[in-house]
Amino acid sequence: MKKQQGEFTSDIAFTSTVKKLQEKNGSRKSYAQMETGRGWLKELTPPIIDFVKKRDSFYMGTSNPEGQPYIQHRGGAQGFLKILDPTTIAFADFSGNRQYISVGNLADNPKAFLFLMDYLNKTRVKIWGEAHAEMEDATLMESLTMEDYPAKVERAIIFKIKAVDVNCPQHIVQRYTSDEVDKIVQPLKQRIKELENKLNTLK
């Protein structure tokens, strides 16, 4: 029996138009097999939870009632993205440029999207869902605050997960943070120092 639109988790992204384009371009068969096989996730698994907790930045997509999209970058120390449960992510929204585009969009249209990148390991995770701003729950907002970060928490953003896809590594250019570079270079610095000391003793 043929499945109807909306019966697969990936239908949140694979609309009937998208599927027609997949059919036209020769990829529909493989994606149909994916749908009836492992499919996309509806919640975070332990490996993805670990992945999320290690991120120090991500991008959040929202759109206004007219469908105009907007993407905002969010960053912080590892762990600033909090896992409340396998279907809920939350993070503190600090005072910034006071444009309030994302918050305004979510007030009109709760549908949202998170795009998480690990450039070092060439991995990306895409998360579809719905989000809203929470300003009344002081306990929750306090739990999302990062130590040693001076910015004031204006609100919490609560993201309810609808679908999760771990995307292929193709075309991801490997990049390193300054901390990652330091870890790689430190043994080399130590070796150089040892050789310099040895050279000095031979002079």
CB atoms within 10 A of CB 38: 8
Residue 129, pLDDT above cutoff 50: yes
Average pLDDT, the chain: 91
Over pLDDT 90: what percentage of the chain? 65
Angle between the N-to-C axes of helices 16-24 and 28-36, in degrees from 0 to 180, rounded to the nearest 10: 130
97-119, pLDDT tens digit by residue?
789 999 999 999 999 999 999 99
- Cβ atoms of residues 45 and 14 within 8 Å: no
Residue 1, pLDDT above cutoff 50: no
C-alpha closest to that of 54 among 80, 86, 91 = 80
5-54, pLDDT tens digit by residue?
668 999 999 999 999 999 999 999 999 999 999 899 999 999 999 999 99
Residue 3, pLDDT above cutoff 60: no
55-65, pLDDT tens digit by residue?
999 999 999 99
Average pLDDT over residues 126-138: 93
Count the alpha carbons within 13 Å of 171 in the hemisphere toward its beta carbon: 1
The per-residue pLDDT for 4 is 60
Calculate the alpha carbon distances from 132 to 23, 40, 142, 158 in Å. 36, 23, 17, 6
